[in-house]
A and B are shown apart, each in its own frame.
Chain A
Amino acid sequence: MNYMLNEDLQAIKEICIEIGEKHILPIRAELDEENKFPREIMNIMAQSDLFTIYIPEEYGGTGMGSMALAVATEELSRYCGGVAVSYAANALGAMPILLMGSEEQKKKYLPQLASGEKLCAFALTEPEAGSDAGGVKTRAIKDGDHYILNGTKQWITNGGEAQIYTVIALTDPERGARGASAFIVEEGTPGFNYGKKENKMGIRASATRELIFEDCRIPAENLISREGFGFMVAMKTLDNSRPGVAAQAVGIAQGALDEALKYSNERKQFGVKINSFQGLQFMLADMGTQIEAARALTYTAAGLIDSGAKNFNKVSAMAKVFASDVAMKVTTDAVQILGGYGYMKEYPVEKMMRDAKITQIYEGTNQIQRSVIAKAMIKEAHRK
């Protein structure tokens, strides 16, 4: 399918393909096996300006928006879901500043992120607060011109690798979610430490880590927006970044389909190529069709955001749910098409299957997203 990507998007795609072919493909199995963060690849991405695309020009970016980010994430995910999320999580981390940050905060932080000099992460989830993000317990108590943070964030992508963190904490515990606020915390701030690095099923190239705050004093000017707006910042951030997860899912699925197409044209059984069996052809046809549908929905969601629309949380959730379910199904089928070989680590599809799973879980589980979609639909239907 030709989505008539404009020249800029085409350029982004070409760059990601080159990075994928030359720098990700040769080492993705090793990164996966050894749980290793792709620091070198991040440097290459920085040098190719990939971190500029979601940052406006006035802050050192190229200001290309959500669609550009989706194209980049998709293309990188074809090669490795773990590397791709390590990239995309930067956009997630920067989103609170981009959406609600003050002019000073933007001037201070965005150029460093655009150049890739510093990496970024977003910290909402806690041991007791997953889907129920309103249940966060981390506190931020005002003390003169500082806030003092206490609490633990869990499963933070790019944790330990990023230098800048956007963190949701309670400034007014009495008010629950309405008492949450968003902050910028820099690496090296006293009282801010990393906990253990997780040993995961998939996306093992990415770092997932605990952030531990113990009487961590941060300047009051690091508050994003206003006290009590934290939950809103978090929700807006996730609404904006969900097409990114969808793009990741589309990319992983496409990678698996590519492998299945290649393999089924080489493997012979019963004296013929296995892609001549109709049973297998039907699988391939469904895989391709589902991916195209997921891609179309993902691009639509990203395009909607770029158009300046206010109401996109439904489509954004739909793209995430649909694409991630497609990724799970397609990668599972790809393993099936490769048969026993597909089950072996020597071939990349078992990794793709492991990588795909996370897209159904993070940035709002697919169950939660379905509730979001349903609520939005019901609301729309009864507004008239």
Chain B
Amino acid sequence: MSGFLEIKDSCTGCGICVKTCPVQALSINDNKRAVVSDACTLCSICVDSCPFQSLAVHHSFGGNEEQLAKYSGILVLCEMRNGSPDRSTYELLGEARKLSAGEKEVSALLIAADPSDAPEKLIHAGADRVIVAEHSSFEHFSTEPWSSVLTHVITEYMPEIVLAAATTTGRDVMPRVSKILDTGLTADCTDLKIDADSGMLMQTRPAFGGNIMATIVCDRTRPQMSTVRPGVMKPMEIDTSRTGEVINLQVTDEMTKNRSKVLEFVPSAGDEVDITEAEIVISGGRGMKNPENFSILHDLAHLLGGTVGASRAAVDNGWIEYPRQVGQTGKTVQPKTYLAVGISGAVQHRVGMQSSDTIYAVNKDRDANIFQFCTEGFVGDLFEIIPALVKEIEKRRG
């Protein structure tokens, strides 16, 4: 085992920790002391539960140092949408630049049928080097060629970190490649940091349906691979003066080999909404005053990749369609983020959204009920706050 759970002498045998362990590794022995079995996964969940600070997890990091040291730099797997790099790709490049702290080289891998001016855009957005795999068969994403190309590039360039967006593409190809390369992959990260001492990538992600945040390391193997939740990281300001290297990869038959075929791609109609599926829901209530004002919520939702919901008051007034109603007689939603705008927080509304991971509320009434159960509340006039917020987000995104 790499590491161990220390149970200090200060343990009183109170038993509080026992209940917290997800794998039932803790028990109290006859000497009234906590003992840990080898089922322990060193997850650290129990550590904070001990009122006497008797628990500590010690990890022993590292594999073959020499081997690990051969890897350097950061590789970003790019995604194209409508002929240009996807927004999530810009976010990954921004994050990669941040992690590189001016030291690590940032490479971007672009797999496309027609890269056009994307390599240049990627350099302006933070890449030092763009590796282009161009082939007529690369029009639509397909697992096997993407996996072959990525595996090849990692083996050849030996990056220490590989980032992809936690999209249906990243979540399809990254686990395949990490298994082929026998290395670790952390899913859906919302925070990445380099540990100052060990130089390792500390990858933080929500799990247990958002009930817990776990920080994960990949200490014995390289590269350290992560998929990153779209919409979370910050792209850097586009810098058209940046220069970099563009490498055209020799696409081999091995790389285009594919047992699958994309017969057809059907773009989604766009407008159909299912508010229960959205990760961000921005809901408006009676405070919105009229249907026209809902357009600012749509703008905001669009910017954040979310969708618009509503209270019954707004729906009953005919300001917005019923399928968007949240609550007792509408839909129950549990997005990662719920923003209630001009909604008082009546119990019938609350039951439809209270299991959202985070709830933010904008309301001009300090005593509005919604402020009693939101994660963070904002007291003010929505007609000032929301338009300013849209501007602010546009500004930050450049």
Contact = CB atoms under 8 A, between A and B. Distances in A.
B347 interface: yes
B328 A267 contact: no
Interface string B348-388: 00010000000000000000000000000000000000000
A267 B329 contact: no
B328 A346 contact: yes
A346 B329 CA distance: 7
Contacts, number: 5
Nearest to A29: B329
Contacts of B328: 346
A266 interface: yes
B131 to A, nearest CB: 49
Interface string A133-170: 00000000000000000000000000000000000000
A360 to B, nearest CB: 30
Q: Report the interface size class on chain A.
A: under 10
A8 B2 CA distance: 48
A101 to B, nearest CB: 48
B344 to A, nearest CB: 14
Interface string A190-220: 0000000000000000000000000000000
A266 B348 CA distance: 10
Q: Is the interface of A mostly helix, strand, loop or mixed?
A: loop
Contacts of A267: 347
A266 B350 CA distance: 10
A267 B347 CA distance: 8
A346 B351 CA distance: 14
A266 B349 CA distance: 12
Interface string A261-272: 000001100000
A266 B347 contact: yes
A266 B328 CA distance: 13
Interface string A287-305: 0000000000000000000
A266 B351 CA distance: 10
Contacts of A346: 328-329
Contacts of A266: 347, 351
A346 B346 CA distance: 15
A276 to B, nearest CB: 16
A266 B347 CA distance: 7
A346 B316 CA distance: 14
A266 B354 CA distance: 13
Contacts of B347: 266-267
Nearest to A346: B329
A137 B393 CA distance: 80
A266 B329 CA distance: 16
A267 B328 CA distance: 13
A347 to B, nearest CB: 8
Nearest to B327: A346
Nearest to B369: A268
Interface string A237-276: 0000000000000000000000000000011000000000
Contacts of B351: 266
Interface in B143-178: none
B108 to A, nearest CB: 46
A275 to B, nearest CB: 14
A337 to B, nearest CB: 15
Nearest to A345: B329
A267 B351 CA distance: 12
Interface string B216-260: 000000000000000000000000000000000000000000000
A346 B328 CA distance: 8
B254 to A, nearest CB: 48
A364 to B, nearest CB: 38
A105 B328 CA distance: 50
Interface string A322-361: 0000000000000000000000001000000000000000
A341 B347 CA distance: 12
A315 B328 CA distance: 41
B189 to A, nearest CB: 34
B126 to A, nearest CB: 48
A260 B166 CA distance: 44
Interface string B30-57: 0000000000000000000000000000
A291 to B, nearest CB: 25
Nearest to A344: B329
A346 B330 CA distance: 10
B373 to A, nearest CB: 12
Nearest to B351: A266
Interface of A: 266-267, 346
Q: Which 5 A-B pairs have the closest CB atoms?
A: A346-B329, A266-B347, A346-B328, A267-B347, A266-B351
Interface of B: 328-329, 347, 351
5 contacts: A266-B347, A266-B351, A267-B347, A346-B328, A346-B329
